Amino acid sequence: MEESTEKQSMQKVKNILLYTTLFILGSYFLFDGLAVAKGFLIPVSIAVLLSLLMLPLCRWLEGKGISRGWAVLVCDLCILLAIMGLFFLVSAQIKNIVDDWPQLKKQVQPKMERMQQFFEDKTGLDADPHIQSFMEQVPFSTQSVPEGETQAGDQAKSRDTENEVTTLAKSAIGLFGIFAATLLVLVYVFFFMYFRRKFRKFILMAVPASGREKAEDTLRKTSTVAMNYLVGKGVLIIFLAALYGIGLSIVGIEYALLISIIAALLSLIPYIGNVIGGGMAMLLGLVTGGGFEAAIGVLIVFSIIQFIESYILEPFVVGHKVDLNPAFTIIVVVLGGAVWGVAGMVVAIPYLAILKVVMDHIEPLKPYGYLIGEEEDEKNGGWLDKFENWFDKKVVSRFR
């Protein structure tokens, strides 16, 4: 009897080890496959999200009597105009930085030298080679050639010309790649939205007849919640860009418009995005001569706007948002970055939110939806949570 029990225990251990090994190997090949196929999957993933984002506009146009093809085409044009507007806006700001770079470099160099001196005083190590290497590799650098070194100067000019040609060629190839990817995404968006009813019917046909009614209800709720979440996030980005722009302009940060746009877009990446955006603004404040006061001002601006975003704007704009467990949020952001780079970090959260909605509406998967979600009873009940609940009941609920 004891021998039989021992055999059963050993078999359980073997099964656990086997399933754990299979899970690890399966996860490895899954993420490796996602990384290999990113050239195909990234445009498709972005197109799906943009399709959900533009679905309300498409339905509104169809409700006005416009045919589905023309309605989808208008949505595609709106996406294209938004991308072009953002591109020209950011390009104009970057051009200003390029034009001002010689002056900025003069401001940066003394600060780098003071940093070098501080580092050497505290550590006793020589940081000069690293600082010099950094300054030489910084783009848009301008170095004068000493007199009497004409030949060396000519060679340097020749190398600079070659570098400029190479840089221009790489930039042209990069721009062409971005243009091609954007065109491909727009094509995907058109067909996803045009044939959305066919995709819906396909999903319902794949479900057994006994569960078709429940599947249709789940599909409708999933589409509605995901669409509201994405539309709310899109509107929230616009609000954040405006608030960041106003706040940074008041503090006196140069290129406030560029930083505000980048910081608002980075808000799609929770925690990490806000830190990166704030760090960029503080760095620019220090570099452009604002000093310690500018850094403190940026910190205050970002802290206030983060409070407004978390406890006023997000509940109001996004409404019944999908709350996600911070641990799983960070995990999927890191995984998305490891697999697809910046694009993976951006799309990871929306897809996790959509996955949670699906799990919440499928009975066997509800425990997993609970696991990756943040339930009301898990909140710490602090004064910030009380303020959010009060604001939600007294103000936000009246507009729903």
- Is the pTM higher than 0.85? The answer reads no
Dump pLDDT digits (tens) for 277-335.
888 778 777 766 566 777 788 888 888 888 887 777 776 666 555 667 778 888 888 88
Report the pLDDT averaged over residues 120-148: 53
Distance separating alpha carbons of residues 52 and 322, to the nearest angstrom: 16
> Nearest 5°: CA angle at 162, between 161 and 164?
65
* Pick from 178, 219, 173, 181: nearest CA to 44: 181
Q: Are 285 and 251 in contact (CB under 8 A)?
A: yes
Distance separating alpha carbons of residues 128 and 8, to the nearest angstrom: 67
User: How many CB atoms neighbour CB 256 within 10 A?
Assistant: 22
- At 141, the pLDDT band (50, 70, 90 cuts) reads very low
Q: Residue 255: is its pLDDT beyond 60?
A: yes
For residue 5, what pLDDT is reported? 73
List residues bridging with 373 in a β-sheet: 324
Q: Residue 191: is its pLDDT beyond 90?
A: yes
| Beta strands, E only, the chain | none
Q: Residue 200: is its pLDDT beyond 60?
A: yes
For residue 13, what pLDDT is reported? 79
Residue tagged 């910190």 (tokens): 299
> Nearest 5°: CA angle at 252, between 251 and 254?
130
For residue 145, what pLDDT is reported? 46
Q: DSSP letters of 83-95?
A: HHHHHHHHHHHHH
- R_g of the chain computed on alpha carbons: 27
Dump pLDDT digits (tens) for 89-126.
888 777 777 776 677 666 666 666 666 666 666 666 65
- At 20, the pLDDT band (50, 70, 90 cuts) reads confident
List residues bridging with 324 in a β-sheet: 373
Dump pLDDT digits (tens) for 63-74.
999 999 999 999
Residue tagged 């507009």 (tokens): 399
Residue, of 227 and 75, whose pLDDT is higher: 75
Q: DSSP letters of 120-154?
A: HHHH----HHHHHHHHHHSTT---PPPTT-HHHHH
Report the pLDDT averaged over residues 160-176: 68
Average pLDDT, the chain: 76
- At 346, the pLDDT band (50, 70, 90 cuts) reads confident
